[in-house]
């Protein structure tokens, strides 16, 4: 279990999803797509490329290793944020509770204090921020209402399709300039939802490459309101 040891050393915790990436059975790209809720990535297991025998043996070794090392188990759900709220992500194809629990379990060193463990668990539980894009190309329509998305308008990508902010239920949001951590944290305390313009998120590069969108740039001190 050198791979598990390496992840634990590097990240301070290790779970099956991280282990399988370390073993290169699972690509970080597929994990990102799954975390975003892409249609082809509703579950993660089909993207783990390894035969069943090797897979079973790795699971056994991993559990034995964690027990032998006396590591502490932290159970943290995988979740995704979309405009409707928080959605739990399923890893296995079967959805079997035992299997899901296996995937949700991360291991941390046993000597971690209660406070430190809590912080690790919170970090693991946190769903990635929503990101809104500013459109740079001229053509394109909202996938849902077909409204034209003009150059410079804001859009949200859901499952690989552009949505206008009304259809994405994001038109009530106030956009925050990137890099202002205090402001973002304060806003998050007051609202369950926030969109972060400047965060680098999976897909942003692909979008830029496709000429569809670029990340929203800071437009002025304190951010700006989206009209509508």
Q: Contact positions toward Zn ion, by CB under 5 A?
A: 142, 144-145, 147, 164, 167
Contacts of 6-14 with CB under 8 Å at 24 or more apart are 8/71, 8/107, 8/109, 12/108, 12/109, 12/120, 13/74, 13/106, 13/107, 13/108, 13/120, 13/124, 14/106, 14/107
In whole angstroms, the minimum distance from the beta carbon of 82 to Zn ion comes to 15
The count of C-alpha atoms lying within 13 angstroms of the C-alpha of 195, restricted to the half-sphere facing its C-beta, is 27
Of 88 and 145, which has the nearer Cβ to Zn ion?
A: 145
Q: Which of 25, 86, 35, 87 is nearest to 58 (CA)?
A: 25
In whole angstroms, the minimum distance from the beta carbon of 156 to Zn ion comes to 10
Of 15 and 83, which has the nearer Cβ to Zn ion?
A: 83
In whole angstroms, the minimum distance from the beta carbon of 15 to Zn ion comes to 37
In whole angstroms, the minimum distance from the beta carbon of 144 to Zn ion comes to 5
Q: Which residues contact 142 (CB under 8 A, 6 or more apart)?
A: 148, 149, 155, 162, 163, 164, 167
Of 11 and 144, which has the nearer Cβ to Zn ion?
A: 144
Of 94 and 151, which has the nearer Cβ to Zn ion?
A: 151
Of 164 and 193, which has the nearer Cβ to Zn ion?
A: 164
Of 136 and 145, which has the nearer Cβ to Zn ion?
A: 145
Tell me the two tokens of residue 193. 């939802």
In whole angstroms, the minimum distance from the beta carbon of 177 to Zn ion comes to 25
- As to burial, measured by CB atoms within 10 angstroms (0-12 exposed, 13-18 middle, 19+ buried), residue 98 is exposed
In whole angstroms, the minimum distance from the beta carbon of 202 to Zn ion comes to 23
């Amino acid at each position: 279990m050198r791979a598990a040891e390496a992840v634990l050393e590097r990240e301070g915790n290790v779970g099956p999803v991280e282990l399988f990436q370390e073993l290169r059975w699972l690509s970080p790209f597929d994990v990102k797509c799954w975390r975003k809720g892409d249609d082809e990535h509703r579950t993660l297991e089909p993207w783990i490329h390894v035969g069943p025998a090797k897979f079973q043996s790795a699971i056994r070794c991993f559990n034995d290793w964690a027990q032998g090392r006396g590591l502490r188990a932290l159970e943290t759900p995988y979740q995704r944020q979309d405009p409707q709220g928080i959605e739990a992500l399923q890893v296995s194809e079967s959805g079997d509770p035992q299997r899901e629990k296996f995937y949700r379990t991360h291991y941390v060193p046993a000597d971690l204090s209660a406070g430190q463990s809590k912080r690790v668990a919170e970090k693991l539980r946190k769903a990635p921020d929503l990101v809104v894009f500013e459109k740079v190309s001229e053509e394109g329509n909202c996938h849902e209402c077909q409204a034209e998305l003009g150059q410079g308008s804001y859009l949200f990508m859901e499952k690989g399709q552009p949505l206008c902010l009304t259809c994405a239920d994001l038109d009530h949001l106030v956009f925050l300039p990137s890099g202002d951590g205090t402001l973002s944290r304060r806003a998050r305390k007051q609202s369950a939802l926030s969109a972060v313009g400047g965060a680098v998120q999976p897909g942003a590069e692909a979008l830029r490459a496709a000429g569809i969108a670029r990340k929203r740039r800071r437009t002025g001190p304190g951010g700006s309101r989206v009209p509508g």
